[in-house]
Amino acid sequence: MHVLILGGTGEARRLADVLVADPALRVTSSLAGRVERPRLPAGEVRIGGFGGPAGLAAWVRAHAVDAVVDATHPFAERISRNAALAAEETGVPLLALRRPSWTARDGDRWHRVPDLAAAAQALPALGSRVFLTTGRQGIAAFAHLDGLVFLARSVEAPAPPVPARTEVLLERGPFTLDGERALLRAHRIEVLVTKDSGSAATAPKLAAARELGLPVVVVERPAAPAGVRTAPDVAGAADWLRRLRG
């Protein structure tokens, strides 16, 4: 049984670790190639795009793929949509592995917004020193906010445009509560902006913001494509594959 895992997330790597231990499975992980030095999963790896849903469908057919697991980032809308279209065209079973969203706790000052544009619009009323953790591709949405000071954290340096007063911090999680607390204090952060990735590796910033009483602008994640089965964790995805095998 040939399983294609889409995505370079932590869940994708953990799923690959589980599946390659089964000699009855062939596992191929596909990474988008946006990160220069990605963490490679176990098993076979391909890097780069497919050329849209038709290209993905052609690859699935050419490589005799029996099942596809979309374990991309919750905000990777395009590849998730392409995977759904390719699965419909080929008839190959598709599962979306989606970690649960973050849930606000007592003391949180969250401002939920539908997209990055709305996050940028909300910022001036919340604070002037911003910790921006939306990823390098999201920084451009804030480029027009010249009156604010940004600390932007990403794995790799963002391409222009970026806000005029921006310090870029190149780091990769997981992060600790002590580290996030110290970072917010050292940079005198007044407001945090994040996407609702649901990742445990980056959740400590939310706890640190809660402790310091900081407002948090949370960009809501897009819904999974209609009709696609989902699982909340690696165990659920592995169980789905076992049931497919019968």
For position 139, which CATH number holds? 3.40.50
**Statement to judge: residues 170 and 188 lie in one domain:** yes
**Statement to judge: residues 32 and 69 lie in one domain:** yes
Write down the residue that tokens 């990777």 correspond to.
76
Cβ–Cβ under 8 Å, residues 134 and 193: yes
- 170: which strand partners? 154
- 2: which strand partners? 26
Query: Across the chain, how many H-helices and E-strands are there?
Result: 7, 12
Average pLDDT per consecutive 10 residues, the chain (246 residues; last block may be shorter): 95 97 96 80 95 97 98 94 98 96 96 97 97 94 97 94 96 94 98 94 94 98 91 97 92
Cβ–Cβ under 8 Å, residues 4 and 68: yes
**Statement to judge: residues 209 and 227 lie in one domain:** no
Structure tokens at 234: 């690696």
Predicted structure pTM score: 0.88
Structure tokens at 166: 């921006």
How many whole angstroms separate alpha carbon 213 and alpha carbon 181? Answer: 11
Quote the number of domains for the chain.
Answer: 2
Give residue-wise pLDDT tens across range 8-62: 999 999 999 999 999 999 999 999 877 677 889 999 999 999 999 999 999 999 9
**Statement to judge: residues 195 and 166 lie in one domain:** yes
DSSP state for residue 141 in the 8-state scheme: G
Instruction: Give me the domain span that covers residue 176.
Output: 109-219
**Statement to judge: residues 117 and 214 lie in one domain:** yes
